[in-house]
Every structure is written in C-alpha cells, then in structure tokens.
Amino acid sequence: MGEHIETDLLVIGGGSGGLSVAAGASQMGADVVLLEGHKMGGDCLNYGCVPSKALLASARHAHAMTAGAPFGIAPHDPLIDYAGAKGHVKSVIAKIAPHDSVERFESLGVRVITDYGSFISRNTVDAGGTRISARRIVIATGSRPFVPPIPGLEGVTCHTNETIFDLQERPDHLIIIGGGPIGLEMAQAHVRLGSRVTVLEWAAALGKDDPELAAIVLESFRTEGVAIVEGAQAERVTGADGEITVHTKGGGTHTGSHLLMAVGRTPNIERLNLDKAGVAHDGRGISVDKRLRTSNRQVYAIGDTVAGGLQFTHVANYHAGIVIRQALFGLPARATAHHIPWATYTDPELAQVGLTEAQARQKHGIHLEVLRFEYGQNDRALAEGKTRGLIKVMVHRGRPVGASIVGAQAGELIQTWALAISSKLKVGAVANMVAPYPTLGEINKRAAGQYYVPRLFENDRVKRFVRFIQRW
Ligand code: NAD
C-alpha cells in the first residue's frame, strides 16, 4: 500500500494553469500537492506558445534578409539552417524550463509527484500508488491536438504541434490541414524557412477573427507564396512519407512531402476517472459554472479542460487566479470572457478583444459606432515600412466593447483595449492619454480620437459656439 497524503489543495496538471495555481497557493500559505505525468510546463512551454514564437523569430530573420530593398539594403537569399532554427527553439525552451521545473516548485514548498492522477473517490486521487486526499482539487490537465479519423492517415507520418518542433529535416513541401492560428503560424514559419506550404482549410481560414482583418493576413501569406485553399475539407490521405496526397471533398488533391494536422484540440480528461468523482463532462471537456466549479463542488476545472472555453495560456492563468481567490480566501470570484484578448503571431499580427464588428452589430444594432484607423496614417509605421494594417474599435454608448487589430505589434497594441474593456473605461480615456511620438501605440489614440471627429469637428453647433466665445 502506497503513501496516503492529506493536503489543502491538489492540482492535477503542471501546465500553465496548474503551475499558476500551485505557485500562487503555496506562496500564500496553503499546503499544495501537484501532479504532472509528462512534462512540466505543459503544451505552452514544450509544444505550443514558446516553440512557435521561437520558430517564427527565426523565420522573421530569414525573411528580413529578403525584404531590405525599400530601406536601401540589398536583398539576398538567406542560407537557412532548418535544424539550427530548431536548435534556437530548443534553447528558448531550455531557458524557460527552470522556471516551470519540479525543483523550482519544490523550492516553493509544493509537493510534486511526477505521475498521472486518477480519481478513486470524490476527494481522493491516486497517482502511481500514492493516494492524495484534498479539501479542494483543481483539474488543469489541458488539451492535446485533435487528430480526426481521416482514412489513410495511419499510412503516413502525421505531424502535430507535439512533433513538428522535433523535425530536423526541412520539409520540401508541407501540407497543413487546418487554417486556424496553429496552422497559419506554422505556415508562415515554414515558408520563410524555405519550404513550400499549402494550407487546406475546411471553412474560412482564421474564421474566429474579423473577416476583413483576416483577409489582410491571408493576402500577405499569398504574396509570400503560401497556397491557402479554403472550403477544402480533408477527407482521405494516400501515398507515403515524402509524397503524401490529401484528397479534399469535391475531388481536390494536394501532394506534399510532409503533413501537419492543426484542426483544433481535445481535452485531456480520459485518465482522470471523472465519473468516480462525480465530475460531469462530455467530449468537449468538463462542465463548470461561472466560478469554475464542477458538478463536484470540491473540484474546479481550469484552462483547456473546460468545455467550450477559450483555449489560451493566458486564460488558464486567469482561471488560476479565480480559483485561488475562492479556494484560499473563500471569495466568490467569477470567470468572464468579454475582456479576454487573443493574438495570432503571424506577420502581420492579428489580435482581438471583446466583440468583433459583426458580433457587436448583432448585439448593439444602430447604437454601435465603429472607429477605424489605418497603419498607413501612423508616422512610425511609415518609417518602419509597416503600413499594412488596420484597427477597428467597437464603441457602445461611449465605451469600447471590442477591438480588432491587424498589423505590426497588434498583440501589443490590443492590450490598451483589453485594459479599457476590463476596467470599463470610456473611449475618451484612450483618446486623452498622451502617447510618445512616434510609436505604433499612437494608432490606439488616433482610433479613439475618431470618436470625437463627428462630435467636435463636423458639428455646426460646436463651430457656432466656438465663434461666439471668440467674439465675447
Ligand atoms: P482552430 O480550431 O482554431 O482551427 C482549426 C481549423 O481547422 C478550423 O478553421 C477548421 O475549420 C479547420 N478544419 C477542421 N477539420 C478540417 C479538415 N478535415 N480539413 C480541413 N480543415 C479542417 O485550431 P488550431 O489552429 O489547431 O488551434 C487550437 C487552439 O489553440 C485554438 O483555440 C487556438 O485559438 C489556440 N491557439 C492560439 C494561438 C495564439 O493565440 N496565437 C496559437 C495557436 C493555437
């Protein structure tokens, strides 16, 4: 019979969400046990956000060598060491890994067990023979790539984001199934590192974002040579590694040397034995209420395991804070999604917070105002040659309810609007902010300023009033 541990808080899963809960709770005095059966840091550190941004950084350097002509720098073809770029990816992971390591968490006072957990009752979990009973349990087991049962897939190597970063030989022609953020980030990384790339997308690529802004990204991809085929549902795969053919519904065929599947994710809940704990779930994940409590009130679920939730590292971290407030301080914190931003780190970047224009029009009808401003009117964007871009801010009764940005640094610029929405600021707060000149950040201020154009500059009453004051 193994050890039986009793603890205040048991965290199952050592990815972004679980590590945030464990670090926060133990530093605030709780007795915490953390289970991780695979890699500390989870998908984000090992297979997701970190390696993808590192590979995109290599790709950006390669691209810059070809794009200097307008700046007076003779372009030339970069000598690309694909394995070297993968070495950069590995080195970035290695630099961040100590922060997420077993050693660091043990130094914070967390008891880390390197095994998978499985419920044996409503408040007890077994991990490799050790039983852990806890007053509160947090499920943070994340998600993994969904690989649909496409006939023929078993006959070829089908990469996912869990294997593509280990690939050392550059794909001659990478076929990517799925035109969401993973598919498109990997498409641009590979085309810039010298592969031919074809993206097959069932519906519309970047379909969760504003279509007007997504179109600007897609046009830029096509200019760089990425073939994006929309309305192409992958149905069947034939051939062998090196010459893989994907057949799409309606008779299309696309042949490439390598295959990457990026059609969404599936929650990691199978090993948990959730029924033993009375935790309700379905194929999409675990059902929770606004406070992230499952059907077993002692058990919370956070991040990608939550059914129907937004699947982002920053959402898992946000959820961690919601759980800590409740489990440690007894405060009735609630998770909301209206202020959660996201960004796709392509060039140009694409970022969103709150409602898109279409969602806002549906919700607010004629009371909606959409403020627009183009990157081409920003002096810094002109200096940097980054004029391809656009911001839209959706405003209802003087307050922003959504913002969409495509262009350089969109993931940074969106943060002003994430703050405005989460703090319920008026659009005037952004318009009145003094931004350093010349920065891309002025795009936010100028967009906000558009709110006052019809009210101040195109308003006869204002003009009459000003003339009157001048005479007085
Ligand atoms: P996704 O769900 O965002 O996109 C998958 C795409 O695949 C969809 O557009 C879908 O229509 C298409 N598809 C599904 N089946 C298909 C088929 N048989 N043939 C052709 N196309 C098919 O999924 P993803 O890109 O894998 O990303 C997974 C999650 O991770 C998402 O929630 C995403 O937002 C998140 N993510 C975010 C970032 C970021 O924030 N930068 C980066 C990567 C992933």
Tokens in use for 48? 């997701």
Q: Is 247 in the pocket of ligand 1 (CB under 6 A)?
A: no
Domain end call among 263, 285, 319: 263
State the pLDDT at residue 471.
85
Q: Which atom of ligand 1 is nearest to the CA of 345?
A: 41
Distance CA 311, CA 322 (A): 16
If asked whether residues 206 and 324 sit together in one domain, one would say: no
Q: Is 19 in the pocket of ligand 1 (CB under 6 A)?
A: no
Mean pLDDT across 397-408: 98
Residue 31, domain member (yes or no): yes
354: pLDDT strictly greater than 80: yes
State the pLDDT at residue 73.
97
Convert the pLDDT of each residue in 358-400 to its tens digit: 999 999 999 999 999 999 999 999 999 999 999 999 999 999 9
Q: Give how many domains the chain has, as a whole number.
A: 3
Residue 370, domain member (yes or no): yes
Q: Is 214 in the pocket of ligand 1 (CB under 6 A)?
A: no
Q: Could you give phi then psi for residue 75, rounded to 5 degrees?
A: -75, 145
Mean pLDDT, the chain, integer: 97
**Model confidence band, residue 171 (pLDDT cutoffs 50, 70, 90):** very high
- Tell me how far the alpha carbon of residue 212 lies from the centroid of ligand 1, in angstroms: 19
Domain end call among 307, 329, 351: 329
If asked whether residues 222 and 253 sit together in one domain, one would say: yes
CATH number at residue 323: 3.50.50.60
Which residue range(s) make up the domain with 412?
341-457
Distance CA 275, CA 269 (A): 11
| Closest C-alpha to ligand 1, atom 32 | 311
Mean pLDDT across 10-16: 98
State the pLDDT at residue 458.
82
- Tell me how far the alpha carbon of residue 181 lies from the centroid of ligand 1, in angstroms: 6
472: pLDDT strictly greater than 80: no
Domain end call among 263, 298, 313: 263
If asked whether residues 139 and 272 sit together in one domain, one would say: yes
160: pLDDT strictly greater than 80: yes
If asked whether residues 259 and 271 sit together in one domain, one would say: no
